[in-house]
Amino acid sequence: MIVTERPTRNLSLDLLRSTEAAALAAARWVGLGNKNDGDQAAVDAMRLLLGTIPMRARVVIGEGEKDKAPMLYNGEELGTGEGPETELAVDPIEGTRLVAHGRPGAISVIAAAEKGGLFNPGPGFYAAKLVVGSEAREAINLAASPEENLRSIAKALGKRVRELTVFVLDKPRHARLIDQIRHAGARVSLHTDGDVAGALAAVLPDTGIDVLMGTGGTPEGVIAAVAVKALGGGMQMRLDPQSEEERWALVNTEYNTQRVYTLEELCPAEDTHFAATGITDGQFLRGVRYRDHHAITHSLVIRGHTGTLRYIESHHRLEKLRAISGELY
């Protein structure tokens, strides 16, 4: 047997513990109508676990600047201070309103890459995105119309346009886009929140989603890019400011709002790591489930270097976790 490269430590499995912890903490707040306290619980749990990982990590995609977001803020340093320099993109709860209102599709998610391996969106909060699976990755062009893209994607997938289903966030800004998609003949799957989950649904098989279109959070776009690249999918993104303040902030920092970023620009790194854990039931991840003395989590873990995707079901003994970590769970 010839081994060309020795196996190395899989950071993804360490990161998984942080999304599991965040999901367990957030699940206690499902349906209680309080998105802020649920988010804080998830942040505290994720931060606690990230602090135990042997890495020199810096949050580059977090929840804002330190003075504006006492959460996992941009520039925060995590890990034990030993090991590789790592950049983190975190979202302890993608879908805080989904959790607050007990709706499906909320996940806890984190992505990591070596230093310089993640796109920095600067002051850009919103971006237009186009995401597809591997078979259609050469068929997309964000500069083209939705109808042109749908025809090209359908051809690549060997389908008719009317057989395509498009994930779109149900926002007023998408009224024209929804009309264009339906006019082209494709089906629209509307979701109030969760465009990282939407991007994953477009790339993973058997989700019923063929493509993600529309404008969502730029941080979520960078997180999604890590998973899309590792799974061999296709993605393009363009900064799409939703206010004059955001537009001028991008202009003043010399970001071009007409430029279409490729997947390689969004995630130039090859050795990447991605983990997501369901909080409430979704299209590809089950939410946290409680039994008499334990909780069950369902997670997705991806390593970019090998392209390995794992679905992991974990059973957590809650009394033991509480004895170790207090009331986080």
Residue with tokens 């360490």: 14
Q: How many CB atoms lie within 10 A of CB 151?
A: 19
Residue 43: what are its φ and ψ, rounded to 5°?
-60, -50
Tell me how far apart the alpha carbons of residues 195 and 169 are, in angstroms, rounded to a whole number: 7
pLDDT given at position 322: 76
- Strand partners for 168: 190
- Per DSSP, helices labelled H in 90-174 are 96-100, 146-157
> pLDDT tens track of the chain, all 329 residues?
555 565 567 799 999 999 999 999 999 999 999 988 999 999 999 999 999 999 999 999 987 654 444 578 888 999 999 888 999 999 999 999 999 999 999 999 999 999 999 999 989 999 999 999 999 999 999 999 999 999 999 999 999 999 999 999 999 999 999 999 999 999 999 999 999 999 999 999 999 999 999 999 999 999 999 999 999 999 999 999 999 999 999 999 999 999 999 999 999 999 999 999 999 999 899 999 998 889 999 999 999 999 999 999 999 998 887 777 765 66
Q: Which domains does the chain have, with CATH numbers?
A: 11-116+271-325 (3.30.540.10), 126-266 (3.40.190.90)
Residue 324: its pLDDT value, please? 75
Residue 142's contacts (CB-CB under 8 Å, 6 or more residues apart) are 128, 129, 130, 149, 236, 237, 238, 260
* pLDDT value of residue 66: 42
